[in-house]
Structure formats: C-alpha cells, structure tokens
Amino acid sequence: MNTILSVAILVTLCTSLFLVIRFRNLSLEGGDPLPLTAFMAILFTSGLDVGLIMFPLTEFPVYESEAAYSFTNALAIEFGFWGFLVWGFYFLTTFYFCVVEPKLKLFEIGWVKLINNGVIIATCAFTGFLFLSYLPSYIEGISDPVRYGLVAAVVLAAVLSSTDIRYVKWLGLGSSVLFFGLIALFWLTSGAGVAGLAESASNIRGYFTNLHRFTSPLTDYHAFYLFWWFAWSIMIGQFVARFVGGLRTYQLMLALLIIPSIPIALWFSVLYFYHTEAIALTGGLQVSMVIVGVIFVVNSLDSLTRLYSENLGLTVKRLGGPGYVAAHWGLLFGLILLYQFTPLRIEWIGLVVIGIYCAIYALTFIRREGLKPQVATQTD
C-alpha cells in the first residue's frame, strides 16, 4: 500500500506543479465566490478536524522516541504531517472542480458519483469516530454513555447546520476566530511570551530543510496521515471550489500552501512549548480544547453532509426538514459506530480515493478535447 501511496503523491505533486506553470494566470471562480478571507476560513475549518486540536500533545513524545523521525525535531514532524505541502492535495482538486469538472462533468458519471459520495460519507463518519476515540484523553473519567451521547449531539448539530449554506459559511468564519482565540489563550497561559513562542516556532525550519523526506511515507503512521489527506482531498476540493473568488492559479496555490500553515504553525508551536517545558494542562484549558474541537467537528461534518446530500439529491427540499435530519444523523452516527466496532480503516478509504484519481486522470485524457475552449481563455 505504501508503494501505491508514494507513486500517488509523486503524480499529484507533479500535476500540481504542471498546472501552476502551464495555467499560472488562469482566473478561477466558483459558483458562489467569496472574498479570500472568507474562502480561506471555510477551507481551513472544513478541511481540518478535531485531530488538529487533540493529536499533537500525544504525538510529540512518539516522534521523539522513534528512530524513523530522528532526522529532525518533533515539532517539525508534526507540522509536516499537517501543514504546507499536504495542502497541495486541496489545490489540485479545487483547480479540477473550478476548471475541468464544469466542462467534462466526470463526477456526474453514475459509478464515479456513487463511489465518490460513498467516500464522503465514510470520511465524515471517521471524523466523528476520531472525536469519540480521543474524548477520554481530554475529559478525564467521562463515561461511555456520556461520550456516545456527546458525539450523537455533535452529529445532530452538524446535520442541522448543513440544512442551510448560510450556517456553513458563518460557522466556518466563527470557527477560525475561535481557533485563533484558543491559540491566544494557550500562549498567554503558558508564560512563553514573544521570545518563548519564537524560539519554539523556530523548530519548524527542520521541516523545510527536510521537505523532500515528507513526499513519501516515513512510517506506517505517516502513511495513515497521507491516506487521510487523500481521503479528504476530492470532497474538500469539490466543496470549496464553489467559493473561489477570481484567484489566479498561482495565487490559489500560494494561498493554500501558506495561509492555512500560519495558524497551524502557531498552534503547534504553542503546544510544543507546553511539551518541552512539561506544563500540565489545567481543566479549563482541556475544556477549551474540547469546545473548539467540537466546533471543528461540527464544521467539518456540516460542509461534507451538505456536499453529499446535494450530490445524491437527499436534500431538505426533497426529504423535508425532519426527514433530512433523521436520515443523515442516522447514517453518520451509524457509520461512526461501525468504525468503533469493526476493523474499518481510513487507509482503505484513502486507497479508494487514489483509485478515483486514477479514473479521473484517464477520463480527463480521453475527453481532453472538451477542455480546449477553457484552455483558450487563459490570460498570460
């Protein structure tokens, strides 16, 4: 599987580089364009989930203890798993759904549509499963009934939010503001000051000096992350492409690589200071992480529920409000339980997505004549 993953990463990176060079000045605009700030807020909060909040403090010790990661520090490894280069997956799919899909409509082919929406639903459920799995680490002594009840309530909130695109937009903006607030809270509480934060953040340069190492799996755990990014990539590109507001190709690439990486770098740097200084998290800090984590889960699930429900025609208009909520809540919460009680893995979903990539590459080549009018509109 890791060989397939390495080849897939190489092909997508080369494709992205080709698109930036060949169509660098092509203006991209979706059906519901938004200003850059709003677009990036929706992308950031839809394209990430609770793992960004809850994983790092548990993973730093692992990266420090395993030989495979010894070429740099734990903060650089964590950033490499979440930031910068991996956002190139979203660039490729956003470009595709802005430029190629409107012309060729490959995702309207029956079998492609069916598999793609199956992937979206399964990945939605995995987000909820991660939240379910990590709750005991941040709410000490939480009972199973409360844990499952909280996850069920979060899924319900996400489905309710997905009933109107306005809720999705506002929740995306609000989530971004709350995330920066969380960073500020942890930073001020840590006592790191500007100098301490800067010293902690300086460790991220270990990622950029070893950038080539992150283009293929370092370990099976790194492969898990990369399959996870692949699993998200098509559906996030499909969802956020509608909000692109006239960016040129190179601007979209730069925006995706740099802008989301800034808050990720700040958050990880603050947490790394807590780790290196062995600062224990107080109950209030843990609760704040859970609250923002809940909002991230809701924000991820509502945008993806909105996407697959529209793709499959299972909308509020068709099912009615109560029917819509009952159907999608039951589907997502049922799949979360499936992850919990079966061997179902996100790596399998990522592998299916790589298969979709292969099919779309082939179909795009076969139907490439349909793209010529679009290529002709490029401005140099």
DSSP-assigned letter for residue 100 = I
Distance between CA atoms of 90 and 88, rounded to whole angstroms? 5
Name every residue whose Cβ is closer than 8 Å to that of residue 189 and which is 6 or more positions away in sequence: 282, 285
Q: Is 348 buried (19+), middle (13-18) or exposed (0-12) by CB count in 10 A?
A: middle
pLDDT of residue 163: 87
pLDDT of residue 376: 47
**pTM (two decimals):** 0.86
Q: Which of 224, 251, 252 is nearest to 90 (CA)?
A: 252
> pLDDT tens track of the chain, all 380 residues?
789 999 999 999 999 999 999 999 999 998 889 888 888 887 777 767 778 888 899 999 999 999 999 999 999 999 999 999 999 999 999 999 999 999 999 999 999 999 999 888 888 888 788 888 877 876 778 888 898 999 899 899 989 988 887 776 777 777 888 889 999 999 999 999 999 999 999 999 999 999 999 999 999 999 999 998 998 899 889 888 988 999 999 999 999 999 889 999 999 999 999 999 999 888 889 889 888 888 888 887 888 888 889 888 889 989 998 999 999 999 889 888 888 777 678 888 899 999 999 999 999 988 887 776 555 445 44
Q: Tell me the H-state helices in the chain.
A: 2-22, 36-46, 51-54, 56-65, 74-82, 88-95, 101-104, 110-138, 144-161, 165-190, 193-201, 205-208, 220-240, 249-258, 261-276, 283-312, 316-319, 321-341, 346-366, 372-376
pLDDT of residue 379: 46
pLDDT of residue 352: 93
pLDDT of residue 343: 67
pLDDT of residue 345: 80
Amino acid at 188: L
pLDDT of residue 156: 93
Q: What domains lie within the chain, and their CATH numbers? A: 2-376 (1.20.1740)
Q: Which of 62, 108, 51, 14 is nearest to 313 (CA)?
A: 108
Q: Exposure string (b/e) for 278-301, b if CB count within 10 Å is 16 or more?
A: ebebeeebbebbbebbbbbbbbbb
Determine contact, residues 134/367, Cβ cutoff 8 Å.
Answer: no
